[in-house]
Amino acid sequence: MTLTQQEITQFYKLWCALIWGINETKNIVPKFEKPVYGKPMAQAPFIAIRAELWENPGWIDEFISNNEFGDLTEIDLGILADWRKNFVKDRFVIMKHLKKYAILMTMEEDAVLYGVCGISNPLSESVPYSLPVMVEAVLLPFKDKIIYDSFIVPYSVSFGKGMRNSFKQAFDTAKEKVGIIENMNIPPEPVAPPKKKPKAPKEESIAVGTKGANVPKAMSVKYLEVAEIIESFCNEKLNDEYKELCLQALTKLCRKRPSPLLSGKPRTWACGIVYAIGSNNYIFDKSQPINMTASEISEWFGLAKSTAGSKANDIKDLLDLHRFDNEFILPSVSATSPIPWMRLFRGGRIR
């Protein structure tokens, strides 16, 4: 959904007047010519003035009081006052493109959902990337809609399966508890999901005698065979952190339908899992407290390095394993990771 042509004209009239008026009093961009909607406008001065404006929103109050730089009506000034009161400057994740609007979610523990309309083009055209996509934007109330201030900055960041699941969980929780904000002056209505009938438990779904691992009974023997080898290696060469993470990966592989572990030797799978988890946690970096070479790992398992590496690559693909997803990152590594947004949904917030 976009604004009507009349609304587009009104928005840009206000936006151009505000940007020019702020610059006239603050002299952020020297020799900045008054922008006129419908005529070519350079983006660079707009971006520079805009950046200063949203760091100093009180300037909008000054502009409204003076009202010297645009032929603005009381209705126009009321819209500007609404911008000053209710603007939201943040990083968001675009979660869905609907016919009515795009849904943007804040990147915080208690996520907030906004239904945001495009101005002259839908957001699906302005940000033509696969969802979810992270963007930086300033959201503005405009009459009974929410728009953005004509600039939206997408981040070229891909999210792994773990982060996508975190986003979806945060989205579902926010939608159920709070709802989607469509008008910044009207509280949203929570949308409760339809009740699902509880599924009857399957008698054969959980394995017995697998040291507490939740795997299908059909995979119990294979799990125990591979787990025993992994535990021996980790007890001798690594630590409990690594052992727990490797067994977690093994459990996930056993639970796939069909499980890839149905074929292949237990020792090869054990080596591949250790190699893949270790690689994802910088085990080949000599600066790490625990480090090994690829040859040392493969030799312990009695395999060629090429075989170990190939199996590790298969496992990375099966688990969608990468360093941007903290599902298979050691807590000690995650704590010093240079990727702060990997732990956004633990309570932090990107600024």
Express as a percent the part of the chain with pLDDT over 70.
86
Cis check for the bond before 258: say yes or no (omega within 30 of 0).
Answer: yes
**Average pLDDT for 139-144:** 93
108 band by pLDDT with thresholds 50, 70 and 90: confident
Inside any domain, residue 116: yes
Indicate the helix (H) or strand (E) that contains 316.
helix 305-319
Q: Pick the closest to residue 95 from 83, 86, 104 (CA basis).
A: 104
The pLDDT score that the predictor gives to residue 190 is 62
351 — pLDDT class (breaks 50, 70, 90): very low
Same domain, 79 and 97: no
pLDDT value at position 177? 87
Distances (CA, A) of 261 to 180, 231, 269: 43, 17, 7
Would you say 207 and 215 are in contact if contact means Cβ atoms under 8 Å apart? yes
Same domain (yes/no): 70, 106 = no
Residue 34 lies in a domain: yes
Judgement on whether residues 243 and 170 belong to the same structural domain of the protein: no
> How many domains does the chain divide into?
3
Which domain-ending residue is among 136, 165, 181? 181
Query: Domain for residue 247, yes or no?
Result: yes
CA pair distance 20, 264, nearest whole angstrom: 69
Does the pTM of the predicted model rise above 0.75?
A: no
Tell me the CA distances in angstroms from 127 to 44, 133, 153, one per residue in order.
Answer: 19, 9, 8
Give yes or no: residues 162 and 240 share one domain: no
Same domain, 29 and 61: yes
- The answer to whether residues 68 and 93 belong to one domain is no
Domain that holds residue 307: 217-319
> In this structure, is residue 199 part of a structural domain?
no
In this prediction, residue 345 has a pLDDT band, given cuts at 50, 70 and 90, of: very low
Establish if 186 belongs to a structural domain. no
Q: What pLDDT, on a 0 to 100 scale, did the predictor assign at position 156?
A: 82
- Please check whether residues 244 and 287 belong to one and the same domain: yes
* pLDDT(27) > 60: yes
What SS3 class is residue 115?
strand
**Inter-CA distances, 241 with 151, 231, 270, 297, Å:** 45, 11, 16, 17
Out of 29, 49, 84, pick the residue that ends a domain: 84
- pLDDT tens-digit map of 199-251: 655 544 444 455 667 888 888 889 999 999 999 999 999 999 999 999 999 99
What counts of helices (H) and strands (E) characterise the chain?
12, 6
φ/ψ region of 116 (left if φ > 0, alpha if ψ in -120 to 50, else beta) reads: beta
The mean pLDDT of 278-301, rounded to a whole number, is 90
The verdict on residue 280 lying in a domain is: yes
Establish if 292 belongs to a structural domain. yes
Rounded-to-integer distance, Cα 12 and Cα 36, Å:
8
Q: How far is 227 from 159, CA to CA, in rounded Å?
A: 29
Residues 147 and 241 in one domain: no
Of the candidates 157, 181, 205, which is a domain's last residue?
181
**169 and 239 belong to one structural domain:** no
What mean pLDDT do residues 305-333 have?
A: 84
Q: Express each pLDDT in 53-104 by its tens digit.
A: 999 999 999 998 886 655 788 898 899 999 999 999 999 999 999 999 999 9
What CA–CA distance (Å, rounded) separates 279 from 300?
16
Shared domain check, 39 and 109: no
Does 74 fall in a domain?
A: yes
- With a pLDDT cut of 90, the percent of the chain lying above it is 51
**Which of 3-17, 65-79, 162-176 has the least mean pLDDT?**
65-79
Is it the case that residue 265 has pLDDT exceeding 60?
yes
- Same domain for 157 and 225, yes or no, is no
| pLDDT for the residue numbered 341 | 44
Query: Are residues 169 and 234 both part of a single domain?
Result: no
Residue 267 confidence (pLDDT): 94
Report the alpha-carbon distance of residue 146 to residue 226 in Å, rounded.
54
